[in-house]
Structure 1
Amino acid sequence: MTFQITVQPSGHQFSCEEDETILAAAMRAGVGLPYGCKNGACSSCKGKVLSGEVTHKPHQERALPKEEEARGGSLFCCALAHSDVVIEAREVAGSDDYPIRKMPSRVATMEKMAPDVIVMTLQLPANETLKFRAGQYIEFLLKDGKRRSYSLASPPEQDQPLALHIRHLPGGLFTDQVFSTMKERDILRFEGPMGTFFVREDSDKPMVLLASGTGFAPIKAIVEHLRAQGSTRQMTLYWGGRRPQDLYLDALCREWAAALPNFHYVPVISAPQPEDSWAGRTGYVHQAVMADLPDLSGHQVYACGAPVMVESAKADFVERCRLPDDEFYADAFTTEADLNK
């Protein structure tokens, strides 16, 4: 059975099969609903059901608490329609500018940047290119049908292999392979580009770029994209890790700060050890933002990293720092462990 989905306030409409999520149907129809993980963990696709009946596939309780669902809240990546449905959602202009493609690639380089971080580059077949927006991600297609998502750390202007920052999660289906048996020239298939985490270039508001761990990858792509475009927008990067070694491209960030008058860099370490001799900022990275910028009413925030960091940042920035809810853009890096909580 097919149902009609209407998006408010735009009035856009698309059809949705009964076994298809509302987000999947919107993507198929070219309607730009926001999304991130596509599996009910990050809440990027959250909106409201104004009329009609939906049920939700399994998802994380923190992404959509039961009381919020009872008030009409919905995760469209998990929502199945059982009637015609009217939803309220903020659409993302430009999210469907570049078609999602399945492509083969060859591992070009693998460089260990920290004990648990490898920077991998992928070479596409001759005469093939991937068009994407800085901040988007790709999904590796694994042999057992599973997928693993990684943000592109290279900007779209770069005529070089695609770069990814991969953190080792012991026991991880894909990362165990990357850190043990994978080698240069191995073939990997992926699908992309995906996601609605990319810079809104129709604004000149100062940007807070907030990253934890390898959440730095899409932030790097955004900074290098804006630099290539000659943008003069003010950017302040807050990058957090437990130990200094977690800021595996700290030297690059300091180079940006020295070379770009509109770029500022604030590294933050949450658990420094005596042997680190760390003399910089400490604590939770999003709280460093709040200490420096107690009024975010005129800013945009781009946050990427662990779900707990992203969720805490959004709640505190909106409630305590006057950040407009619709000026917080995020990509939470969910893992298989996150999905099973």
Structure 2
Amino acid sequence: MSEFECKIKQLESLTPFVWRILLEPERPVSFKAGQYIRVVMGETDKRPFSIANGAHDSQFIELHVGASAHNPWAMQVIEKMQQGGKVLLDGPHGKAQLRDSEPKPTILMAGGTGFSYTWSILQTLLATPLREPVFLYWGTKTLEDMYALDVLQKLATQHPKLTVIPVLENPADDWQGRTGLVHQAVLEDFISLEPYQVYVAGRFEMAGVAREAFHQQGLLLDNLFGDAYEFI
């Protein structure tokens, strides 16, 4: 699909720096979990964001955008959405979509708003009973940045094969969970990654370090997916 127009149905702040955008296309948009769209800001200015909803929800497009005054590239998109009305999108794009024809134990790893990529994949996997274990690792700087943790923890109680591991870089003194870098938490938990498929979203630096470290821990690179790997 190329360009298509959407109504801006909802814009809400999830944290002081993360926005949830709900867009309604003129007709259902077929996409694969893990793909992304681009917001058309101008003829040669198209800005990519992961689709956050599951692939079965083709009636709308959900985006999670991290934006602040220090990030004008993303803040300009939020300002465009705040004007209301309609917006032009381009897509879907990406080759890091969910591979589920032969289910494997799965690790989803996200840094910050890279969670939107893993959230789309997780919702798609949970649309049918899980056949293999799924581990979702989400790393943020603080607990306040982890805007969907309550929802994830509730899902983990409903799906015995789902494990959610939040990891904080700068935790408060009363934090009882994991701390440090999110990819290090994965390395600590698995003696070998050889049986797994792994999906990664976040800063390119994190993705690059994770690729090398996971491969050394047995992960087959054919089973590693993430949009960053098209560029690094």
1:123 counterpart residue number: 24
Residue 129 of structure 1 and its aligned partner are, at CA, apart by 1.1
Work out whether residues 243 and 272 of structure 1, in 8 Å CA contact, stay in contact via their aligned partners in 2: yes
Counterpart of 1:142 in structure 2 is 41
Q: 1:245 aligns with which of 144, 156, 164?
A: 144
Equivalent residues of 1:304, 1:333 under 8 A apart = no
Q: How many correspondences in the alignment? A: 232
List alignment gaps of at least 5 residues for structure 2: none
Pair 1:103–1:180, CA change in 2 (3 A): closer
Are 1:290 and 2:191 matched, yes or no?
Answer: no
TM-score (norm 1): 0.64
Q: Is the 8 A contact 1:211 1:219 kept in 2?
A: yes
- The question of 1:331 aligning with 2:227 is answered yes
Match of 1:74 in 2: none
Residue number among 189, 196, 220 corresponding to 1:299 in the alignment: 196
Kindly tell me: are residues 301 and 265 of structure 1, through their superposed partners in 2, closer, same or farther at Cα, counting changes over 3 Å? same
Q: In the alignment, which residue of structure 2 is the partner of 1:107?
A: 8
Larger radius of gyration: 1
State the one-letter code of the partner of 1:303.
V
Task: Check conservation: 1:236, 1:264, Cα contact below 8 A.
Answer: yes
SS of 1:220's partner is: helix
1:138–1:194 contact (8 Å) kept in structure 2: yes
Query: Measured at CA, do residues 174 and 182 of structure 1 come closer, stay the same or move farther in structure 2, by a change above 3 Å?
Result: farther
Of the three residues 189, 207, 218, the one matched with 2:88 is 189
SS in 2 for 1:135: coil
Alignment-derived partner of residue 175 in structure 2: 278
Q: Is the 8 A contact 1:240 1:284 kept in 2?
A: yes
CA–CA distance in 2 between the matches of 1:108 and 1:247?
24
Q: Name the structure 1 match of 2:168.
A: 269
Question: CA-to-partner distance for each residue in 1:277-330, whole Å, 9 max, x for gaps?
Answer: 3221001000001101121111111111111111111100101x1111211111
Taking a change above 3 Å as real, the CA distance of residues 332 and 170 of structure 1, as seen in their structure-2 partners, is: farther
Amino acid at match of 2:105: P
Q: CA distance change for structure 1 residues 179 and 105 in 2, over 3 Å: closer, same or farther?
A: closer
Contact 1:305 1:331 in 2 (8 A): no
Whether the 8 Å contact between 1:306 and 1:333 is mirrored in structure 2 is no
Counterpart of 1:314, as a letter, is: R
Map Cα deviations across residues 122-177 of structure 1 (whole Å, 9 max, x no partner): 0112xx11100011000111135211001100012125421100001535455223
Alpha-carbon offset, residue 332 of structure 1? 3.0
CA contact (8 A) 1:107 1:184 kept: no
Q: Greater helix percent: which structure?
A: 2
TM-score (norm 2): 0.92
Q: How far off is 1:333 after superposition? A: 10
Instruction: Check conservation: 1:295, 1:323, Cα contact below 8 A.
Output: yes
Cα distance in structure 2, aligned partners of 1:175 and 1:325:
31
With 191-200 and 163-172 compared, the bigger mean Cα shift is at: 163-172
Q: Percent identity between the aligned chains?
A: 29
Higher RCO (C-alpha under 8 Å, 6+ residues apart) = 2
Q: 1:181 to 1:301 in 2, by over 3 A?
A: closer
Secondary structure at the aligned position of 2:214 is classed as helix
